[in-house]
Amino acid sequence: MKFSVGYQIDPRGMLVPAILSAKNKINEVYFAYGDFPNGRHRQTRSLFLSLEEANERQLCDLEAISGAGIGLNLLLNANCYGEDSLARSFYEEIGYTVDYLHGLFGLKNVTTTSPIIAKFIKSNFTGIGTRASVNMEIGTPNAMEQIKDYFDSYYLRRELNRDLDAARKARKWCDENGKGLFMLANSGCLSFCPLHNFHDNLVAHEEQIAKKDNAFEFHPICRERISKKETAHALLCESNFVRPEDIHLYDGIFDGAKLATRVSNTPIEILKAYTDGHYTGNLASLLEPDHGGAIYPYVLENSLIPPDFGQKVASCKKNCAECGYCENVFKKAMRKIDQGVYIYANANESND
């Protein structure tokens, strides 16, 4: 399995060298550019660099990445583009940007949530693939069929990471129709989250929202649920991430695995864990969003999760109310820490 890695501005200058050193296991780097809403904050936002410095750093980094033979994937994947969604000026700006990046770096793909953006790219640029964003939540061959004229490849909805039969059906359709299929490996979102689209819409308009006198602050439901003792096991039971040790189960099903590293505080750690295929440490911190703070002062010690966990949860009946397997694994793998040291075996034990 090869990986798609999310780019971010790294003031320390360590991310790009880490990517280049693992280039044999990386098929592309995905990135946002300019002011386009993209499913996360502005790519060049930095506490340490001016906007001009950040823009220059990004261009230099993209040149180094493309020069090493790693493909580049531009993100135009906001959940909402508001009044610009169909505007001529918006597509003129997209066209200029794609042409500019393609000329500089040989842009390989554009990932988008918009079928109109995908159609625009396919109509105006040759040699640039279009990929359906994971935020489109595409989960069936029928859904792929409906939009096959717009997209060359798809991200399968994250919930189906733990349904190998459904993933294989999607692979079969893609093979029959000449399409690519990709997965998101380390999402920290809870499966079938009822607030997911609302949250993505907030992110798409975050710069406008930040300028308002807001009456409320939105807290993702995943963080609230995982931070409560009685529902903390949702981190393992209600999630859809695939551990580094289990990625091999998806060889032959997906063409690549996306690693969410664009806003992580530890992108190199995530990259190393997945390219190595194993990880010792707090599994919660490999995810995006990072749930390490939500379970502190506990950690979910990845090395204590059974080796057959991935196979079991990807092939089970999803009858969580009567099963209890994931909750038991969660309890056994939890460790409390004090000043960086484990102080007792798991969350059910106490020093009292």
How many C-beta atoms surround the C-beta of residue 210 within 10 A?
9
Q: Which domains does the chain have, with CATH numbers?
A: 3-220+238-291 (3.20.20.70)
pLDDT computed for residue 44 by the predictor? 56
pLDDT computed for residue 347 by the predictor? 44
* DSSP H or E run through 64: helix 51-67
pLDDT computed for residue 337 by the predictor? 86
Are 289 and 186 a contacting pair, CB within 8 Å? no
Look-up: residue for tokens 């997945």? Answer: 274
C-alpha–C-alpha distance, residues 156 and 229, integer Å: 31
Closest by Cα among 263, 90, 79, 130 to 187: 263
pLDDT in tens, the chain (352 residues): 999 999 999 888 899 999 999 999 999 999 999 888 765 555 555 556 788 888 899 999 999 999 999 999 999 999 999 999 999 999 999 999 999 999 999 999 999 999 999 999 999 999 999 999 999 999 999 999 999 999 999 999 999 999 999 999 999 999 999 999 999 999 999 999 999 999 999 988 888 898 999 999 998 899 999 999 999 999 999 999 999 999 999 999 999 999 999 989 999 999 999 999 999 999 999 999 999 999 999 999 999 999 999 999 999 988 888 899 999 999 999 999 875 666 555 444 433 3
Are 289 and 266 a contacting pair, CB within 8 Å? no
Helices 51-67 & 88-105 angle (0-180, nearest 10): 50
Q: How deeply is 323 buried, as exposed, middle or buried, from its count of CB atoms within 10 A (0-12, 13-18, 19+)?
A: middle
pLDDT computed for residue 28 by the predictor? 98
